[in-house]
Structure 1
Amino acid sequence: MMKTILIRLTVVAAFIIGTVCICSMLITEEAITVLTLLTALYFVRFLVRTALYVFFTLVRWLCIIALLGLLFCSLF
């Protein structure tokens, strides 16, 4: 799972850099600012979603382990 997250993160970063470079050659400075803000927003949204996914996956596994521990403690 972590390999695909790193690959997706690299692809998104490359997309952002490429978008800014191409736009800087074609469009005015105001449009570049707007596009940069939009791509940064999408990048931050992706990072937050990825971090929350990893966090809640860890919490889920910790809860499962805790419940199994409680079950085994009550049996013995």
Structure 2
Amino acid sequence: MGNLFCTEHTIHRRFDLKGSSLGRSTDKPEEELDASTILKDLDLNFIFRLQKSWFQDFCRQVDRDCEFLEQERIMDYSLQGT
């Protein structure tokens, strides 16, 4: 697994996204979150603004990943934010 966008920025938030809201939030209070905390669907409350070319690259990668996972009959996808 690699980062689609090569960057010198440190990953400071990690999300385990399942596409569901049932039980999909972290129990830790905000002040206890650190770089090792894995957040969930309902914790994702950001607006993403990407350059048009980055957005297109991102969408293509998600499509390719989803096609591969579908072929392998796997349902899992992780998204990490820098």
The structure carrying a bigger strand percent of its residues is 2
TM-score class normalised by the smaller sequence: 0.3 to 0.5
**Which structure shows the higher helix fraction?**
1
TM-score (ref. length: structure 1): 0.35
TM-score (norm 2): 0.32
